[in-house]
Structure 1
Amino acid sequence: MSDQDIPAALNTSRLTPAELETYRRALKGEELDPTDPVLVGLVDRGMLIPNTHAVGTYVPTSYTHVESQLTAAVQKVLVQATEALAGIPAHVRELEAEQQRYNYCPSPVGTLLLPSVPEVNAETIRTIQTAKDEILTSQPGPRKARVLKGALPRDYEAAKRGVAVRTLYRTSGRMNAAQREWVGAMTRVGAQVRTLNEHFLRLIIVDRRHAFFEVFEEDGTVRPAAAWYTQDRAVCELLAAHFSLQWERADPWVPEADWAPEEQADGEPDPGSQRVTTKTQRTILRGIVAGKNHKVIGKGLGVSERTVTAQVAKLRNELGFETVPQLTHWWATSPERLLS
Structure 2
Amino acid sequence: MTERRIPVAPNSSRLKEGELQTYRRALQGDVLPKGDPALTSLVDRGVLLPNTHEPGKYVPAPSGLVQRQLTAAVLKVLTEATEALAGIPAHVRELEAEQQMHHHTPSPVGTMLLVTVPEVNAETIRAVEGAEFEVLTMQPGYRKPKVLKGALPRGEEAAQRGVTVKTIYRTSGRSNPTQRDWVASMTRAGAQVRTLGEDFLRLIIVDRKHAFFEVFAEDGTVQEAAAWYTQDHGVCAAFAAHFRQQWERADPWLPEEPESAGEGEEEGEGKSDGSRGIATRTTKIQRTILRGVVAGKSYEAIGHSLGFSSRTVTAQVSALRVELGMKTVAQVTYWWATSPERLLP
TM-score (ref. length: structure 1): 0.51
Equivalent-residue separation in structure 2 for 1:257 and 1:229 (angstroms): 35
Closer, same or farther: CA 217–126 of 1 in aligned 2, 3 Å: same
Residue 50 of structure 1 is matched in structure 2 by: none
Residue 250 of structure 2 is matched in structure 1 by: 250
2:131–2:206: 8 Å Cα contact kept in structure 1? yes
Structure 2, unpaired ranges of 5+: 1-34, 36-98, 292-331
Residue 182 of structure 2 is matched in structure 1 by: 182
Equivalent-residue separation in structure 2 for 1:131 and 1:181 (angstroms): 24
> What is the number of residues matched between the two proteins?
197
- Matched letter for residue 129 of structure 1: E
1:261 Cα offset (Å): 5.9
Provide Cα deviations, 1:45-88, integer angstroms capped at 9, x if missing partner: xxxxxxxxxxxxxxxxxxxxxxxxxxxxxxxxxxxxxxxxxxxx
- Matched letter for residue 182 of structure 2: W
Equivalent-residue separation in structure 2 for 1:246 and 1:232 (angstroms): 21
Equivalent-residue separation in structure 1 for 2:256 and 2:287 (angstroms): 26
Equivalent-residue separation in structure 1 for 2:222 and 2:161 (angstroms): 34
> Is 1:278 aligned to 2:282, yes or no?
yes
1:106–1:233: 8 Å Cα contact kept in structure 2? no
Provide Cα deviations, 1:154-189, integer angstroms capped at 9, x if missing partner: 111000000000000000011112111110000011
- Matched letter for residue 236 of structure 1: C
**Matched position secondary structure for 1:180:** helix
Structure 1, unpaired ranges of 5+: 1-16, 18-88, 97-104, 288-300, 316-327, 332-336
Closer, same or farther: CA 259–230 of 1 in aligned 2, 3 Å: same
**Matched position secondary structure for 2:189:** coil
Residue 269 of structure 1 is matched in structure 2 by: 270
User: Pairwise mapping of residues 5-44 of structure 1 onto structure 2 (< 5 A)?
Assistant: none
Residue 70 of structure 2 is matched in structure 1 by: none
1:302 Cα offset (Å): 8.3
Residue 152 of structure 1 is matched in structure 2 by: 152
Residue 110 of structure 2 is matched in structure 1 by: 110
- Percent of paired sites with the same residue: 56
The CA RMSD measured in Å over matched residues stands at 3.8
Residue 208 of structure 1 is matched in structure 2 by: 208
Closer, same or farther: CA 153–219 of 1 in aligned 2, 3 Å: same
> Is 1:237 aligned to 2:240, yes or no?
no
Provide Cα deviations, 1:250-287, integer angstroms capped at 9, x if missing partner: 110001024336435655438xx9x841369x859xx9
Equivalent-residue separation in structure 2 for 1:160 and 1:93 (angstroms): 23
Moved over 2 A (4+): 258-270, 301-305
Residue 195 of structure 2 is matched in structure 1 by: 195
Residue 218 of structure 2 is matched in structure 1 by: 218
**Matched position secondary structure for 1:254:** coil
Closer, same or farther: CA 269–144 of 1 in aligned 2, 3 Å: closer
**Matched position secondary structure for 1:257:** coil
1:304 Cα offset (Å): 10
Equivalent-residue separation in structure 1 for 2:115 and 2:212 (angstroms): 12
- Matched letter for residue 182 of structure 1: W
- Matched letter for residue 269 of structure 1: G
Equivalent-residue separation in structure 1 for 2:265 and 2:218 (angstroms): 42
1:202–1:213: 8 Å Cα contact kept in structure 2? yes
Equivalent-residue separation in structure 2 for 1:255 and 1:279 (angstroms): 19
Which structure: larger Rg? Answer: 1
TM-score (ref. length: structure 2): 0.50
Equivalent-residue separation in structure 2 for 1:269 and 1:209 (angstroms): 38
Closer, same or farther: CA 302–264 of 1 in aligned 2, 3 Å: closer
Deviates more, 1:259-268 or 1:146-155: 259-268
**Matched position secondary structure for 2:221:** coil
Equivalent-residue separation in structure 2 for 1:142 and 1:242 (angstroms): 22
